[in-house]
Amino acid sequence: MRHDGRQVNQLRPIEVRRQFTDSSPGSVYIKAGRTTLLCTASVDLEVPPWKKHEENPSGWVTAEYNMLPGSTSPRKRRDRTKVDGRSTEIQRLIGRSLRAVVDFQALGPRTITIDCDVLEADGGTRTLGITGGFIALVDALLWLRKQDPTCDIQKILVDTVAAVSVGICEGVPLLDLNYIEDSTAEVDLNVVMTGSGQFVEIQGTAEQRTFSHDQLQKQLALAGDGIVELTRIQRDIFGENWPLDQNPSS
């Protein structure tokens, strides 16, 4: 059993609140254990400069990631003169992951920006940013459809997307590492998958020792189970407002 009482294949308890603030079309408070993010989705009725010369300019989805100073102890200094390398890398991952399930022609000439601001960091902020960012993205599309009923969410979203970390601690593969586990893990693997069970992104790093082909397979299996559970949570939070007909994880 793990130091917080979880099984090796158990996610942390997740709490999600949609419309947490009123200032953005999507505004999702998402908490997994003691990791908390505010994921907001803003809609800009422009396309990025490098798409403006397309004949029928398609849309774009981008992401930014930031840790609030009070999200860690000791306090994290703000990125005020440059963005640190880790933040850049994470926000590029979040953006790529969300774009993998969006059809930009169907979205039309709009840019959706997902801001993932970490209020409290206890491991897994980047994967929770993807899982929560997708919920904010859906809310932004629901908002768009209210403005413009021709906006066809089922065409825009080709699938759902969620992410989770797995790792090997003292030789044992574990699902959804918290900070203590993450900082002692021998291997750290972030897995981004669609609701239909396809891979979007795999990032595995040997933190303290290299890993074998067999260890890789065990971690991928654990991650797959976690993604199924997270996909269910994403759908359930919308209830009957869930805009995608098909049950994506079945």
Which residues contribute to the site for a copy of itself (CB under 8 A)? 20-24, 27, 34, 36, 38, 40-42, 44, 64, 66, 68-75, 78-83, 85-86, 88-89, 91-92, 96, 100, 113, 115, 117, 119-122, 159, 189, 194, 197-206, 210-213, 216, 220
Q: Is 99 annotated as a binding residue?
A: no
How many other C-beta atoms are found inside a 10 Å radius of the C-beta of residue 73? 7
Beta-sheet strands, E only, within 45-89: 60-67
Task: Answer yes or no: is 86 a known binding residue.
Answer: yes
* Residue placing its CB nearer to a copy of itself in the complex, 168 or 169: 168
d(CA 107, CA 30): 25
Nearest approach in angstroms of CB 178 to a copy of itself is 12
Measured CA distances, 118 to 55, 137, 144, 217 (Å): 38, 17, 26, 31
To a copy of itself, the closest distance from the beta carbon of 240 in angstroms equals: 26
Closest separation between CB of residue 153 and a copy of itself, Å? 19
Query: Does the annotation flag 171 for ligand binding?
Result: no
Strand-pairing partners, residue 118, are: 37, 67
Cα separation, 112 vs 47, whole angstroms: 9
Does 78 appear as a known binding residue? no
**Cis omega (within 30 of 0) on the bond before 13?**
no
Q: Summarize the annotated binding site as residue ranges.
A: 86, 124-126
Q: Could you tell me which residues are annotated as the binding site for phosphate?
A: 86, 124-126
